[in-house]
Structure 1
Amino acid sequence: MNLTVNGVVAALPDDPRVSLLDLLREQLRLPGAKKGCNQGACGACTVLLDGERILSCLTLAVQCEGRSVTTIEGVGAPGALHPLQQAFLEHDGFQCGYCTPGQICSALAMADEIRRGVPSHVTGDLTAETIALDRDELRERMSGNLCRCGAHNGIVEAILETFADQTEQLEAAE
């Protein structure tokens, strides 16, 4: 039984009770996803499972059999940051940095949700072909990722800057 993590095939643990978070951190030595609350309330452990954001502390590793996991270590590269990672630096979207990996993974999935037209609880027009990424929409979609340091304003600015360009490109192509 295997899963793929950041493009590399990895064996699943023998113990079916191991969380995906513990597999990533303790066995695969990928410390990016953080164990914050270990109850699914803070979002520090957010990773992508087949492109969808999940809380790895609430996901059993065996549930990911045959699937693809992307952690923050699989986003960008040293010397070649993902544009969102660069925007976090430029907008001071982190202070202690503990929540940053989960924030970035969540924002990447959020941008994909918007591209696919998936509405949120605050989406005004459910019949619109495109969803505008404004501050209210962004804050609602990112509400599962908490920052204890109070860097939310920088986080919001980094995400808006990164994905505003993509939204404009999508609209120009239509």
Structure 2
Amino acid sequence: MNTPPEFALSRRTLLKLGAGSASVLVAPSAMADVPGIGAPARAPVTTEVAFKVNGRVRALKLDTRVTLLDALREHLHLTGTKKGCDHGQCGACTVIVDGRRINACLSLAVMHEGAEITTIEGLGSPDDLHPMQAAFVKHDGYQCGYCTPGQICSAVAVLKEIKQGIPSHVTADLTGRSEASAEEIRERMSGNLCRCGAYSNIIEAIEDVGGQRA
């Protein structure tokens, strides 16, 4: 059966009709808050925040959406702290805030007003290495080195957690003091990934420092 000429549609005409009808379905009011289409985009909100970084008080005026990681790297130029996944999954951005390790990429800078923050630059210097930095060198606890600042900051905090009696998922006695065993260290360091696979050397370095401080 042949279609009458007045009802025949080309593919191009059909696509044009479809696009036209689709645009009609979107109410103009629904586009009012879309930047560049409706109302003009609102200017970013900025605020002042001050914290002590590696023993020095630093004051910044930041967009409230700036992460602690970007504040450290882009505004204070402390680039030892690395941006890896930017989703809190790799641990490369680990820093110590008020004695506890955190993923700096998951925390807003404005949340840390008055906090004491320690980055890898604040742990030691080439002429005066922190014991954990020296242990990583001694045990060859790195290869490419990208994850190393986060690994070291996390390791320093791990030994402090163990000393304070904070249990992990593998701690057998929750009322007693856990030891800096390889099992404890592996569990506590599981959030710090090393794509080069230097895990065994990292564990040895942390055990070494843990034994020295026991």
If the TM-score is normalised by the length of the shorter chain, which range does it land in? over 0.9
Corresponding position: 1:76 with 2:113: no
| Aligned-partner Cα distance in 2 for 1:10–1:19 | 15
Q: What's the counterpart of residue 151 of structure 1?
A: 198
Q: What's the counterpart of residue 187 of structure 2?
A: 140
Contact 1:5 1:68 in 2 (8 A): yes
Equivalent position to 1:29, from 72, 77, 82 = 77
Q: Please report how far the alpha carbon of residue 136 of structure 1 lies from its aligned counterpart in structure 2 after TM superposition.
A: 0.8
Equivalent position to 1:61, from 101, 109, 124 = 109
Corresponding position: 1:164 with 2:211: yes
Q: What's the counterpart of residue 164 of structure 2?
A: 116
Equivalent position to 1:97, from 145, 163, 170 = 145
Q: What's the counterpart of residue 61 of structure 2?
A: 13
Q: Secondary structure, in 3 states, of the residue corresponding to 2:111?
A: helix
| Aligned-partner Cα distance in 2 for 1:149–1:33 | 18
| Aligned-partner Cα distance in 2 for 1:12–1:61 | 10
Q: Secondary structure, in 3 states, of the residue corresponding to 1:13?
A: strand
What amino acid sits opposite 2:178 in the alignment? I
Q: Which runs of 5+ in 1 are unaligned?
A: 168-174
Q: Between Structure 1 and Structure 2, how many residues are aligned? A: 166
What amino acid sits opposite 1:105 in the alignment? C
Q: Please report how far the alpha carbon of residue 125 of structure 1 lies from its aligned counterpart in structure 2 after TM superposition.
A: 1.0
Alignment of 1:28-47 (within 5 A): 28-47=76-95
| Aligned-partner Cα distance in 2 for 1:12–1:65 | 10
| Aligned-partner Cα distance in 2 for 1:66–1:121 | 31
| Aligned-partner Cα distance in 1 for 2:62–2:196 | 38
What amino acid sits opposite 2:166 in the alignment? V
Q: Secondary structure, in 3 states, of the residue corresponding to 1:163?
A: helix
State the TM-score, normalized to the length of structure 1.
0.93
CA offsets per residue over residues 79-98 of structure 1, 9 Å max, x none? 11011101101111000000
Q: RMSD of aligned C-alpha atoms? A: 0.8
CA offsets per residue over residues 96-133 of structure 1, 9 Å max, x none? 000000001001111111111000000011121x2111
Q: Which runs of 5+ in 2 are unaligned?
A: 1-48
| Aligned-partner Cα distance in 2 for 1:59–1:89 | 30
Q: Please report how far the alpha carbon of residue 14 of structure 1 lies from its aligned counterpart in structure 2 after TM superposition.
A: 2.7
| Aligned-partner Cα distance in 2 for 1:61–1:98 | 23
Q: Secondary structure, in 3 states, of the residue corresponding to 1:69?
A: strand
Q: Secondary structure, in 3 states, of the residue corresponding to 1:103?
A: helix
Identity %: 60
What amino acid sits opposite 1:66 in the alignment? G
Q: Please report how far the alpha carbon of residue 16 of structure 1 lies from its aligned counterpart in structure 2 after TM superposition.
A: 0.5
Answer 1 or 2: higher relative contact order, Cα 8 Å, separation at least 6: 1
| Aligned-partner Cα distance in 2 for 1:67–1:15 | 18
Q: Please report how far the alpha carbon of residue 12 of structure 1 lies from its aligned counterpart in structure 2 after TM superposition.
A: 3.1
Equivalent position to 2:100, from 13, 30, 52 = 52
State the TM-score, normalized to the length of structure 2.
0.76
Q: Please report how far the alpha carbon of residue 9 of structure 1 lies from its aligned counterpart in structure 2 after TM superposition.
A: 1.1
